[in-house]
Amino acid sequence: MRHLYAFMALAVLLGTAAAASGHFSVVPFIDTYVDKNSPDSSFSENDTLWVTSTNNAPVQEAFMTFKNTFEGVASSPQTIESATMVINATEVKKPGTITAYFLHGAVTDSITWSDNQTYDKSTMSTFDITKPGKYTIDATSMVKRAIQVCESGCPYSIVLVANDSASVGFASNENPKMGAVLTFNTF
Given this model, what pLDDT does residue 150 score?
78
Q: Report pLDDT digits (tens) over 121-162.
A: 998 999 999 999 999 999 999 999 998 887 667 899 999 999
Question: Of the given ranges (25-39, 50-64, 85-99, 148-162), which has the lowest mean pLDDT?
Answer: 148-162
Q: What is the mean pLDDT of the chain?
A: 87
- pLDDT at residue 6 tops 80: no
Helices (H), 40-155: 140-149
- The contacts of residue 143 (CB under 8 Å, 6+ apart) are 80, 83, 182, 184
Work out the pLDDT band at 166, boundaries 50, 70, 90: very high
If you average pLDDT over residues 165-173, what whole number do you get?
A: 97
Report long-range pairs for 17-20 (Cβ below 8 Å, ≥24 apart): 20/73, 20/79, 20/186, 20/187
CB 146 within 8 A of CB 165: no
Give the pLDDT band of residue 120 (cuts 50, 70, 90).
very high
Rounded-to-integer distance, Cα 118 and Cα 159, Å: 10
Fold (CATH) for 23-186: Jelly Rolls (2.60.120)
What is the average per-residue pLDDT within 77-86? 93
What are φ and ψ of residue 20, in 5° steps? Answer: -75, -25
Domain spans, the chain:
23-186
CA 147 – CA 133 distance, rounded (Å): 30
100 closest CA partner among 71, 129, 130: 129
pLDDT at residue number 152: 67
Percent of the chain with pLDDT over 90: 70
Dihedral (Cα; 178, 88, 153, 119), 10-degree rounding: -150
**116: CB partners within 8 A, 6+ apart:** none
pLDDT value for 7: 35
What is the reported pLDDT for 45? 94
Please list the alpha-helical segments (H only) found in the chain: 2-20, 140-149
Average pLDDT over residues 45-57: 96
How many C-beta neighbours within 10 Å does residue 174 have?
Answer: 13
pLDDT digits (tens, 9 = 90+) for 15-34: 334 445 788 999 999 999 99
